[in-house]
Amino acid sequence: MSLEERTVGLTSYMRTLPSATRCSMVLLALGFVFGILLAMVSGNVGGAGLIENAGAGIFLVSIPAFLSAFTTVLIKRELTLRRMLFLALVCAFLYSIFYLLAVASGELYAGSMNLIFVGYGLNFILWYAIAKIVFRLKYSAFLFAILQLAYNAIFFLASRAIVLDSSPLAAVVKFYLVSGVFLLALYAIFWLINAPLKRNFGISGIDALSLFMGQWLMRSSDIEEMFDSVGQEVETTVGVLAFRGRKEKCAFIVPNVHYGPIGNLGGSEFPRLIAWMTGAKHHMQAFVFHGTATHDFNPVSTPEVEEVWKACDAALRKIKYEDARGDFAVGAKGTAKAHCLRFGNSAFIGLTRAPRTTEDVDFALGMAISERARACGVQVPIICDAHNAEMGEITRIDSGNPIGFEYMDAVAEAVGKAAGKEAVKLGTESDSFEGFEKDGIGVNGLRCAAFSFGRKKYLMLLLDGNGILPSFRRELLSLVENETGFNAEAYTTDTHSVNLVRGVLNPVGSARGREIEKRVLACAQKAIAKMEAVKVGSAVERFRIKVIGPRQSSEFIGTVNSIVAIAKIAVPAMLVATVLLVLWAATKI
């Protein structure tokens, strides 16, 4: 696996939590089963009835867990009960295991009851770490961790299910002493994680993780301040191809920035924002495509969209519309294809390797492809990465990659074949696909453009998504082409705004495929029905924008992977050493 794939793989641990009701039922069941198991391992099965043993388990495990969750939510209303109940359930399960181990090993290990304190110490740091990092309770995390420890200690000392060798006062001292030792170990782990990022970027790894979790759970954009502190300014381009007819008025906009990294951060929502600005300012329907840019060109914050829009606005203002005569052709070389829509001296060219993985193309390589198109006679080439086949691989086409030369040759062939000068007609339609964010389609929805170049017919289907499943793309295009008689191709914006619920890979077609197909077909048919003669104009503008940057991206990914590699060995070793130290110290009290 590549460094990028290993880093992205860390997000596979993100899961949707069960409901509060389900967590509550499992927590009660845990206490019920624990009480029975505790009676069995302690040899007291016949001393009390089933219900009494189960009740003792609920009293010892479930009730303090419920109190910890409810108290936290009452004090911090922004926290959801579902999340706090799940955390309480995990902790209850953990110390249930230590309860049972302590009782079961009584005849084998004289200090076995000290395992109970180890369990509470681990629970303390787990509660503290989750509250601090995941729920971003910067100062109150310690308070809530102490509070849940107090609840557990009170119910433990009040219960008769387990009898300690020490006095209640000594037990309380052990509770908090052991938790303090584990807290020191936790801060040692924090230091281990923080040190590499502090040295390389001047940022805290724990703070970065906390801010990332804030985005994932609450769509907080606070982490953009951290991106801004390590970002760099670059100069890039935006290409605009505009159409104007009696009724039709639209623009194809291709900024060479990347619509990431995730959620509502950086450039993830740029397709929606740029489309909205174009409509509000110029009263045009905007098709915002994915340019030739990789994650290196992720904007550091959403406000950077203003820099893109200034360039778009300048391009739209300078465009001079002319009667459109042109042609459409597809060029192929090796695994690469280029779809060329030519309009006089301008051309819109979409790059794809579908059904093979079609991922990001480096900006420098994109510029080289543009120059190849110019050498073939196109004065204003606008290059778009179709990004229309998502195979689950994290790939990119950089300078020197043989696929880059295949793209160049495919572009040259497509431009050469698109030499006709037929009258051009265009019809457009859109569908918002509201409510499909969890299913891979962002808020910019679908844009359909139907072209005719004499006898040649072409349908462009632009989805605001993070790639398309190759199998779904094949079915979708087959349906549309059979029903309309047009040649068709699907494009996506590669927006990362949809990559929250299903992880960082959430391609179109992974859910609700049949419904999407029907709506795409209906949208395409409406676009065809609206076709009319149009005039065309084009322009390319340069602009500067602050992005995360190529050096920072590669160095950050390498640093994160190094931290993970070290932590896999160091963290378990530190925890084992802490447990042994705690067991030794507990026997001295």
How many domains in the chain? 2
Q: Is residue 226 a part of any domain in this protein?
A: no
Q: Is residue 142 a part of any domain in this protein?
A: yes
Mean pLDDT of 46-60: 76
Mean pLDDT of 396-400: 88
**pLDDT in the model for residue 53:** 79
Q: Which is more confidently placed, 261 or 127?
A: 127
Pairing of strands 532-547, 232-245: antiparallel
Q: Is residue 99 a part of any domain in this protein?
A: yes
202 lies in the same domain as 278: no
Residues in Cβ contact with 517 at an 8 Å cutoff, skipping those fewer than 6 apart: 475, 476, 479
Residues 509-555 pLDDT 10s: 989 999 999 999 999 999 999 999 999 999 999 999 999 876 665 56
Average pLDDT of the residues of the chain: 86
179 lies in the same domain as 238: no
Q: How confident is the model at residue 1 (pLDDT cuts 50, 70, 90)?
A: very low
175 lies in the same domain as 247: no
535 lies in the same domain as 580: no
Q: Is residue 459 a part of any domain in this protein?
A: yes
- DSSP annotation of 130 reads I
Residues 312-349 pLDDT 10s: 999 999 999 999 899 999 999 999 999 999 999 999 99
88 lies in the same domain as 210: yes
Q: How confident is the model at residue 138 (pLDDT cuts 50, 70, 90)?
A: confident
Counting residues of the chain whose pLDDT is more than 70, the rounded percentage is: 85
Please name every residue paired with 491 in a beta bridge, in sequence order, or none if there are none.
462
193 lies in the same domain as 268: no
Q: Which of 89-103, 491-505, 535-549 has the lowest mean pLDDT?
A: 491-505
What residue type is assigned to position 174 of the chain? K
Q: Is residue 557 a part of any domain in this protein?
A: no
Counting residues of the chain whose pLDDT is more than 90, the rounded percentage is: 49
Our measurement of the distance from residue 186's CA atom to the centroid of its chain's CA atoms, rounded to an integer in Å, reads 27
Check: CB of residue 6 under 8 Å from CB of residue 393.
no
303 lies in the same domain as 154: no
- Whole-prediction pTM value? 0.79
Q: In this model, does residue 8 exceed pLDDT 60? A: no
Q: Is residue 553 a part of any domain in this protein?
A: no
Please give the residue range of the domain that contains residue 23.
3-218+565-586
Residues 364-377 pLDDT 10s: 999 999 999 999 99
279 lies in the same domain as 351: yes
Q: In this model, does residue 3 exceed pLDDT 80? A: no
Query: Quick check: bond before 550 cis, omega within 30?
Result: no
77 lies in the same domain as 200: yes
Q: In this model, does residue 586 exceed pLDDT 90? A: no
The SS3 of residue 263 is coil
